[in-house]
Amino acid sequence: MANKESFPLHRCIFRNDVDSLNKNLKDEEIKKLINQKDNHGNTPIHLALMLDRRNCILSLLRNGCDVVSRNVFEWNPLEEATMLGDVDLIEKISKFKFRDYCLYFNKTGSDGTISKLDEWNKHLPYCYYKGQLKFKSKIPLLNKIGLKDVLQFYKNENSMRLDTGIVGFDLHGIPRIIHGSLSIIINRLDNGLSQIYMLDNKAKRYTELFPYIPQTVHDHFVKSRIDVKTLYKFFVDNSDLSIKKKTPSGFGFKSNKKRTIRINNKKYNTDLYKCKNISIVIRKRDNEQPIGDFISDIKTTVADIDKSRNKIHSSLTSELNNMIILDNKNIKGIDMDDIFKEENGDNDSESDSDSDDSDIENNDNDDKSVSSHGSSAEKLIEADNDFKKFIDENLYTLATVESEICDKVVQMIIKGQNEQGNAIEKSDIIYIDQILPTFYEAYLNSKRLSDDDQKKFEEIINTTVNSTKDKFGNKKKENNEYMQNFKKSENVSSMVHNLAENYYNSTSKKHNNTSNKFKNEEIKRVPISEEEYFDPSNTKSLHLGRKMEISEEKRRTKKALKFWLTKENSFPLNINDHLKPVIDFLCSLLYDQINGRLYDSNYDRSIYIKTIEYIFEQVEATKRFPLKFEVPVMASTALQFKLIDVNTDKKCVPDSKFKIPDNYIYDESVEFRFSR
Domain spans of the chain? 3-106
H or E stretch covering 10: helix 8-15
- Predicted TM-score (pTM) of this structure: 0.70
pLDDT digits (tens, 9 = 90+) for 476-506: 444 455 555 555 666 655 655 565 555 555 5
CA nearest neighbour of 503 among 322, 327, 283, 281? 327
pLDDT of residue 375: 33
Peptide bond preceding 211 in cis form (omega within 30 of 0): yes
Eight-class DSSP state of 362: G
Architecture of domain 3-106: Alpha Horseshoe (1.25)
Distance between CA 629 and CA 564 in Å, rounded? 6
Residue 144 pLDDT? 57
Q: Distance between CA 84 and CA 77 in Å, rounded?
A: 10
Torsion, CA 455, CA 459, CA 462, CA 464, rounded to 10? -140
pLDDT for residue 665: 96
pLDDT score, position 508? 53
| 8 Å CB contact between 255 and 248 | yes
Give the residue ranges of the chain where pLDDT is below 50: 1-3, 251-254, 307, 309-380, 470-479, 510-511
How far is residue 169 CA from its own chain's centroid? 18
Which phi and psi angles does 448 have, rounded to 5°? Answer: -90, -5
pLDDT tens track for 155-173: 999 999 999 998 887 766 5
